Amino acid sequence: MSFTSFKQTLKRCSDFPNPSSSQPSILNEDLKSPQLPRKPPKSSLSQQLQRLQDPLSLPPPKQNQEQPVKENAQEVDDDDDGDAEESGIGISREPVSTHFQFDPTGPFEPMVLSSPGESPVVQVPAAINCRLLEHQREGVRFLYGLYKKNHGGILGDDMGLGKTIQTIAFLAAVVGDEAENGDSKMLKRVGKKNPVLIICPTSIIQNWENEFSKWAKFSVSVYHGANRDLIIEKLESHGIDVVITSFDSFRIHGKILSEVDWHIVVVDEAHRLKNDKSKLYGACLGIKTRNRYGLTGTVMQNKIMELFNLFDWVAPGSLGTREHFRDFYDEPLKLGQRSSAPERFVQVADERKQHLASVLRRYLLRRTKEETIGHLMMARKIMLCFVQ
């Protein structure tokens, strides 16, 4: 029994179906029309659009239309092509709808997260949804599923899979402005939501600012440096949607920031919360909201108790008490991984490992590049030339 084998169990932990497998294809493979001529038919743009919407609403094109005599041979050829198209030569007369199946909820539409009939409608704006990959849409659904249950969780994708983008899309859905979510009357009755706090390393604060400006319409401020007092004043006047701060700033000024009634708190590089004795961990425990989310590509590093510390912050009580976790998981796994461990200890350790993995699936979504975007990554060929 080794930690490597246990880490392998913390792979993909999604209970959400892959919508891409159930979407109908754009082309109906049973009905294939002949190849269309290159030139469009000689009709107005409005007629073409109307024909696409209702191919039976327009009168049939004229048959056996006499071709005018042209002096230029090239013009005669062009007219022949156009008349052939109007007369329907080589073109299937079946309605367009029999050849194409248009999906009204495709990627260029908002991605609805709320249940049917639920008000207000919670949805990812179309401007964001159309740029998301399928695994990123799945990550947004995972975060919203936790949010709806008033739980926190961990988005543990590999580096490069867009954890920042998935988080911004999720925030745009649950705390987006009225224009993005559509039901402005309902949102006015609910009122403006409390702000969102992003805690991350100092080196990626600028990256978070840039991604927010690219993907969503939020009022974003950075609580770092000499403008800290001004940020607090804006928070009190509800003039800020998102506050970004560093680990060091939150560790030092965590008592001030913890007084704010945050709606959602996101910790990037959440594995920094592995040590329950650190000042950063103590400051994060003072956050009032239960909507706590962590982003990390390394969920567990060395010790299993570090795993407990992380999940006890994002979802307090999800793994029981510290004493229960140590007795039920930590000690049996330690005994079972010894080279001289009896078979009974190894069997118990394997059972506890599987049980722990099943519990973590409720709060953890872990994907690798190979299972998500592996088909998009092109192989790199490096050619070395030796010249004497």
Strands (E), the chain: 111-112, 123-124, 153-155, 196-200, 220-223, 242-246, 264-268, 292-295, 364-365
Q: Is residue 5 part of a domain?
A: no
- Does residue 368 or residue 180 have the better pLDDT? 368
288: Cβ–Cβ under 8 A, 6 or more apart, which residues? Answer: 258, 261, 262
pLDDT band of residue 177 (cuts 50, 70, 90) is low
Q: Pick from 192, 148, 199: which is nearest to 170 by CA? A: 148
Q: Is residue 204 part of a domain?
A: yes
CATH number at residue 286: 3.40.50.10810
Work out the angle at residue 290's Cα, subtended by the Cα atoms of residues 289 and 296, and round it to the nearest 5 degrees: 105
- Reported pTM: 0.69
Q: Strand, coil or helix: what is 112? A: strand
pLDDT band of residue 2 (cuts 50, 70, 90) is low
**Full domain range(s) for residue 268:** 111-181+191-318+363-386
Q: Is residue 6 part of a domain?
A: no
| The most confident of 57-71, 98-112, 264-278, by mean pLDDT | 264-278
Sheet holding 264-268, edge to edge: 220-223, 242-246, 196-200, 264-268, 292-295, 153-155, 364-365
Helices and strands per DSSP (H, E), number in the chain: 17, 9
What's the total number of domains in the chain? 1
Q: Is residue 80 part of a domain?
A: no
- Does residue 31 or residue 202 have the better pLDDT? 202
Report which secondary-structure segment, H or E, holds 306: helix 304-314
pLDDT band of residue 3 (cuts 50, 70, 90) is low
Q: Is residue 3 part of a domain?
A: no
Q: Is residue 115 part of a domain?
A: yes
Q: Is residue 43 part of a domain?
A: no
Task: Note the residue count of the chain.
Answer: 388
CB-CB contact of 116 with 49 (8 Å): no
CB-CB contact of 267 with 199 (8 Å): yes
**pLDDT tens-digit readout, 143-164:** 999 999 999 999 999 998 999 9
Residue for token digits 């649950």? 174
Q: Is residue 48 part of a domain?
A: no
pLDDT given for residue 353 in this prediction? 94
